[in-house]
Structure 1
Amino acid sequence: MWRNALQRVLQDLKLAARNLLRHRRRSLFALGTVGGGVVAFLLAGGFIQWIFIDMRESTIHSQLGHIQLVRPDFLSGGQADPYRYLIDDTPVDAATAANMPAIQTLAPRLTFGGLLSKGDATVSFIGEGIDPALEAPISRAITVRQGKDLTDSPANSVLLGEGLAASIGAAPGDTVVLLGTTATGGVNAVECQVAGIFTTITKAYDDVVLRAPIGVARSLMRVDGATSWVILLDDTARTDATVTQLRAALPASQFDVVPWSDLADFYNKTVELFTRQVGVVRLLIALIVVLSISNTLTMSVLERTSEIGTAMAIGVKRRGILQQFISEGLLIGVVGGVGGIALGLLLGQVISAIGIPMPPPPGMAHGFTGQIAITPALAFDALVLAIGTTLLASVFPAWKASRMIIVDALRHQR
């Protein structure tokens, strides 16, 4: 039975192809409409997809890492008193890490805060105490605009965010003083040298953050341990699986295993906003394709009225007429969709090679060069859009053709 059904489908498609070839100009217009819509969807969606990927990786490799291990309730209460939630030793031992091959780096961080002074200028800051050697692969998306990184600097060096450095007029080589309240409530100060000035994708972060060797942070706060341990994986796609493994291996009463996505509020809001924009683009393209293809097939029905009447007169059922025109819409969708995907992939490669110069968006201090990232999921979505809209557009003309009265159809244009 399935063979007979397949044969009928192939016959319908062959007949549909012949009918489309009879009106080449109109068929090319229909294919161009579908293909153009697919190309527009792929380029718009591919640009936004590239922004998602670039922002995700930049967020991970400049601020958050893939996973953070903290004490329970640190995220809610750690801002007020981070030293109540110190982790004294490495939470993931060598044996545990060996069973999780995705883990590449495990680095401690100590969150602290206070006042930064240079001469008569004083501003508040949020500090990150880090191990420069362990942190280097995690922080590869941090751009040192001036000076050098902590890995090439003396032990008493600090890196300042671009906005923070500008607020006190600091430059590489300057001496600054960090003043903070210790874990026991006292006041302490350390003198440091500015090694460099950095930027990330988030201007708000660069305006308040400085990074210092974790030894300097511990000396200033007079504590041991770390407020969090940051994990870098070999692939972002393995985050969820590694989080599940870590939660099974570590006691929940002592550690929270937090994936980067739970901490990236700005990224999550950006994805939500841009996803809605892609939805609007998809809707507009669908409307254009539906109206164009529906008009094309309606014209075809009008021109072939006598032919339809003849077919019905010799015994072709209404369902057969309906299937015939829907097959033509399906064929337009498949050919136009595949052609549009091929052209979109080619244009995406060319545009990416040239680059798309972009001004600084809200929340960023510097512009960037964009690219087009057409993923398999996006290409499949475009193909579904092409086929779905052309099928939808063919329903009314096909129904109209199938409901013709035989006598009136035979008399048409006679």
Structure 2
Amino acid sequence: MISLMSDIRIATRNLRRNTKRTLVAVLTVSGGVVAFLLAGGFIDWILLNMREGTIHSQLGHIQIVRPSYFEKGIADPYRFLLPSNSPEQTAVTATPGLRTLSSRLAFSGLLSLNDGTVPFIGEGIDPELERPISSRINIMSGQDLKDKKERAVLLGEGLAKSIGATAGDTVVLLATAANSSASAVEVTVAGIFSTYSKEFDDNALRLPLDIARKLMRVDGATSWVVLLDDTDKTKPAVSFLSTSLPSEQFEVVPWNKLADFYNKTAVLFSKQVEVVKLIIGLIVILTISNTQTMSVLERTTEIGTSLAIGLRNSVIMQIFLLEGVLIGLAGGVLGVGLGYLLATLISAVGIPMPPPPGMAHGYTGEILISMPLALDAIVLALTTTLLASLMPAWRASRMNIVDALRCNQ
């Protein structure tokens, strides 16, 4: 330990001997760290925003359904109905971290206004219980649903445009009820909504639960939607519910198994961040390697003298490696500080973004620098500078003593 501390002091003094070169090296590393943080932080913010948008507009954290509902229930959802006010539903309310539990009834049919008729995919919801789950749904015009008995409907933005409906219009919902008979209900358009998913907005409407049950002539729900107070509690909650509910009657499905678009986007963006990380790492390695090589050439006589008086080759190599690590540490810490400052300033201004594929509206982006990302940036700085110092350090430790001493003669 004493020897290591002595080598660190020597390496620090060596770096201070040529402050301009050291400063350029540190700024190069910090610039790479800042670039990585801004790119990674932007991607992290997009993924976090998309994740929470997916959870708080459609899926909730957990959905409880009958087994095989998502595979076979779309065509005939009424074979997979969950009971109302059952002991199992009461057991779900004991889930640790539960914020709200809402029942949903999925159905489909035709929406009619004047002479126009279009197909729709509907959800019967309890507006009061659903409100925390649907906090990311934007009401573009009109107002949200108030209670589960209100004879009103919320239309997706694209669905409303396709039939020319506006808030306040009276529309007719036509469907085939659970007993295979035709059923219809007349409701008022309370409002027009939009979510992050244009496909959902083009086809979806929301109806108070009691009205949906009356339309479909059923009692119960096709799913129970659980919202937790923290997304990180999803896995423990799934484990709790899986042990609390009989598996032959209920299937507990976390949000990430239903969010196919999010999962594919997360994989794509993660690969992009890795490519950016690789490019930044190569730039830093080439720059620091050149800096360290110049330092070795300038100190050839000094290295030869050190070897002549008995300093071991491994010590020479260790000192140069420590110089690279110290450059990486200084550049990493400085880069994280600058990156956090720039991210805060950029986020305060916002990054105007056009509508991405699958969305109808643009958004204002931000940059999120988390602790894991900052630690990853520091590890990147240390790793690249250490790798960049390997070859110069090895060359310094393998110098011929006689040739090194004659270098400047």
In which range does the TM-score fall when normalised by the shorter chain? over 0.9
* 1:79–1:98 Cα change, 3 Å: closer
Q: Any conservation in 1 of the 2:166–2:191 contact (CA below 8 Å)?
A: yes
Q: Which residue pairs with 2:371 in the alignment? A: 376
Q: Which residue pairs with 2:113 in the alignment? A: 118
The superposition leaves residues 300-343 of structure 1 with CA deviations (integer Å, 9 ceiling, x where unpaired) of 00111111000000001110111010000010011110111111
Q: Which residue pairs with 2:403 in the alignment? A: 408
Q: Which residue, out of 61, 77, 80, partners 2:56? A: 61
The alpha-carbon deviation at position 395 of structure 1 amounts to 0.2
* 1:91–1:352 Cα change, 3 Å: farther
The superposition leaves residues 274-300 of structure 1 with CA deviations (integer Å, 9 ceiling, x where unpaired) of 001100110000000000000000010
Q: Any conservation in 2 of the 1:131–1:214 contact (CA below 8 Å)?
A: yes
The superposition leaves residues 84-113 of structure 1 with CA deviations (integer Å, 9 ceiling, x where unpaired) of 000012466586356433011110000000
Matched, 1:104 2:99: yes
Give the percent of matched residue pairs that are identical in Structure 1 and Structure 2: 60
Q: Distance in 1 between matches of 2:193 and 2:315?
A: 69
Q: Which residue pairs with 1:161 in the alignment? A: 156
Q: Any conservation in 2 of the 1:153–1:195 contact (CA below 8 Å)?
A: no
Matched, 1:257 2:252: yes
Q: Any conservation in 1 of the 2:142–2:167 contact (CA below 8 Å)?
A: yes
Q: Deviation above 6 Å: which 4+ runs of structure 1?
A: none
Q: Any conservation in 1 of the 2:147–2:208 contact (CA below 8 Å)?
A: no
* 1:270–1:331 Cα change, 3 Å: same
Q: Which residue pairs with 1:141 in the alignment? A: 136
Q: Which residue pairs with 1:3 in the alignment? A: none
Matched, 1:243 2:242: no
The alpha-carbon deviation at position 362 of structure 1 amounts to 0.9
Q: Which residue pairs with 2:216 in the alignment? A: 221
Q: Which residue pairs with 1:231 in the alignment? A: 226
The superposition leaves residues 346-383 of structure 1 with CA deviations (integer Å, 9 ceiling, x where unpaired) of 11111111111111111111111111111111011001
User: How many pairs align?
Assistant: 409
Q: Any conservation in 1 of the 2:149–2:209 contact (CA below 8 Å)?
A: no
Q: Distance in 2 between matches of 1:91 and 1:200?
A: 32
Q: Distance in 1 between matches of 2:124 and 2:92?
A: 23
Amino acid at match of 1:357: P
Given the two structures, how large is their TM-score scaled by the length of structure 2? Answer: 0.98
The superposition leaves residues 189-242 of structure 1 with CA deviations (integer Å, 9 ceiling, x where unpaired) of 111111100000111110000000011211111111000000110111100001
Q: How does 1:314-353 map to 2 (within 5 A)?
A: 314-353=309-348
Amino acid at match of 1:258: V
Q: What 5-or-longer segments of structure 2 have no aligned partner?
A: none
* 1:294–1:332 Cα change, 3 Å: same
Q: Distance in 1 between matches of 2:149 and 2:233?
A: 36
Q: Distance in 2 between matches of 1:107 and 1:211?
A: 14
- Report the 3-state secondary structure (helix = DSSP H, G, I; strand = E; otherwise coil) of the residue aligned with 1:297: helix
Q: Distance in 1 between matches of 2:282 and 2:115?
A: 63
CA-based RMSD of the aligned residues comes to 1.3
Q: How does 1:289-300 map to 2 (within 5 A)?
A: 289-300=284-295
Q: How does 1:36-55 map to 2 (within 5 A)?
A: 36-55=31-50
Q: Any conservation in 2 of the 1:182–1:220 contact (CA below 8 Å)?
A: yes
Q: Distance in 2 between matches of 1:273 and 1:95?
A: 40
Given the two structures, how large is their TM-score scaled by the length of structure 1? Answer: 0.97
